[in-house]
Structure formats: C-alpha cells, structure tokens
Amino acid sequence: MLVIGSHVSFNGKEQLLGSAREAISYGENTFMFYTGAPQNTKRCDISDDLTNKAKELMKENDINIENVVCHAPYIINLANNKSEEKYLFAINFLKEEIKRVEKLGIKKLVLHPGSFVDLDIDTGINNIINALNIILTSNQNVLICLETMAGKGSEVGFKLEDIKRIIDGVKLNDKLMVCLDTCHLNDAGYDIKRFDEFLEHFDKVIGTHKIGCVHVNDSKNDMGARKDRHENIGYGHIGFDSLINVIYNERLKNVPKILETPYIKYDDGKSYPPYKFEIEMIRNKKFNSNLNKDVRSYYEK
Ligand code: FE
Ligand code: FE
Ligand code: ZN
C-alpha cells in the first residue's frame, strides 16, 4: 500500500490531534510534524488526552501511527562542539525530544546530522557519533532517521559514506535508520532519474533495510548544485516521472513517503498548502500542470 503524507503543523493547543486533522484534510495516510517550530527549541508538554484523541481519529481514517514521523528542529547541530554549552544543549534537547516523541507513541524521529562549520569533516562526524552515543539508550522505542543532506555549506551527510561512518561509530546503531530526501540527494549529486541504480549503491554502502523514511521533494536546482531548495512535485529538475518511480519503488513499498514541498505563493501575498493536490497527482500518477490555480480555487471556494 502507498504510505503517503506531508509535513503538517503541530501547535501546543491541539498537538497531535491538530496534525492528524490537517493530514486527513489532504487525503493522507501518514504525516510528519515538528513538536514545535522547526527553527527553535521551545516545546510544550505533551497532553495524553489530545494524543489519545488523535490516535482515535487516526484509526478511523486508516492512519497507522507506526508510519507517522517526527522531525527534530533543524537548529540542533551535533556536528560542532566549538561551544561546549551549545553542544550539550543540543544533546540534552534531543534526549528530551526522544521522550516527547515516545510519549506521543511515534516511532521515527528524523534528524539532520549537522554542520561542522569552522571545524573539519572528520571532527564533525566524531562529534555526531559521540553525541549519539550519549543520547541513545537501549530501551528506547524511537528510531533516529539520519537524513541525507544536500551538502550546502558544511553539512555532514551528503555522501552516503559519511552516514555509514556515523552508523558504524554508534554503539546502539540498531536505533539508527536513514531518511532519504530526493531533493537533497539530487543536490548532493546522486541521480534520482536512475533511482534503481542509486538503491543498488545505497544497498552496498548502508543497506536498504535501513531506509526508514523518504522525503519526496522536487528540486529547484540541477543535480550536484548543493543548494537545498525544494520544489513542488513535477515542477523542478527531478521531474514528475522520476519522483513517481521513487514513490512506487517495490523495494521501498512500506516506507512512509513525506512531502516537504513549498506552499504555493501568490502575487497578492497569499499562500496555500499544495499537498492535497500533489497527493492526488501521486495517487493518479498523472501530472497536474494547473497546481497554482487548483490550489487557490480550492482554498478560496
Ligand atoms: Fe529534514
Ligand atoms: Fe527533508
Ligand atoms: Zn531540504
């Protein structure tokens, strides 16, 4: 079965219940959320009441909670330890985040490996390994999915070999999986148009059984640009057919696919989520060249 969803919001007031409602409004059978704003680390206490209501709603709508994914805030950087205070803060935040995610009953937490900034790649990788060895515990149910990065700036993890080094260095690496991001892979120089060859390569370096999540995004840039600018499905340099190939690949059949494509922005300053229509395109395997118009008329009807 196709397991498809998108990034949805999560706020303190409605929590997982609000996220599930949003996902259902787009016709999704999974979703991904941050436990607060992606760019900061302010977080609310998890309400069991809201979580239970969310689980109920998910059941009624065929959303298997096992497929729901959480994303750690992207300011958390385990690769740089120049400031001991910031490094320890990141470690502690992730420990707490794992507890929150656990309390919500979610199994997968996507994490950007980090950026080494003014250090070097080897030191960056060692910092990530060291941090994960402090963070992970043998009794946790949550799996950390290390995301493949675009390679902008000093990002660690745009080469599969670097992710493999992290996995090899972490003692409890049965708690680690990988999140593929099609935009990031393209920008990092991997050819998504030849996805089967890519998977062969992935299988040799890491092993496809380690793929826990796929972020499905088109890219505004050419292969190898190392930029990381997401584009709507079929509107970028990867293209509709190649993304459909990824989504329906037999080897990734049960892996949740999550859209992180940009909201459609209009000249008058309005913007709306594209997900309902992108999911429709994906389910029909048919490109919609009127995405802009369809989205606007749906939300303004
Ligand atoms: Fe990400
Ligand atoms: Fe991503
Ligand atoms: Zn990205």
* CA 79 to centroid of ligand 3, rounded, Å: 18
Q: Among the bound ligands, name the one nearest to the CA of residue 71.
A: 1
Position 246 scores a pLDDT of 98
Query: For 112-147, what is each residue's pLDDT tens digit?
Result: 999 999 999 999 999 999 999 999 999 999 999 999
Q: Which residues of the chain have pLDDT under 50?
A: none
* CA 124 to centroid of ligand 2, rounded, Å: 20
Of the candidates 219, 217, 218, 188, the residue with the CA atom closest to the CA atom of residue 202: 188
Which residues lie at CB < 5 A from ion ligand 1? Answer: 147
Give me 229's structure tokens.
Answer: 């600018």
* CA 110 to centroid of ligand 1, rounded, Å: 7
The CATH class given to the 4-299 domain equals alpha beta
Strand partners, 230: 219
* CA 31 to centroid of ligand 1, rounded, Å: 14
Which residues lie at CB < 5 A from ion ligand 2? Answer: 181, 215
Position 38 scores a pLDDT of 87
* CA 14 to centroid of ligand 1, rounded, Å: 23
Domain assignments of the chain as residue spans, ordered by start: 4-299
In residues, how long is the chain?
301
6 touches 44 (CB < 8 A): no
Query: For 65-94, what is each residue's pLDDT tens digit?
Result: 999 999 999 989 999 999 999 999 999 999
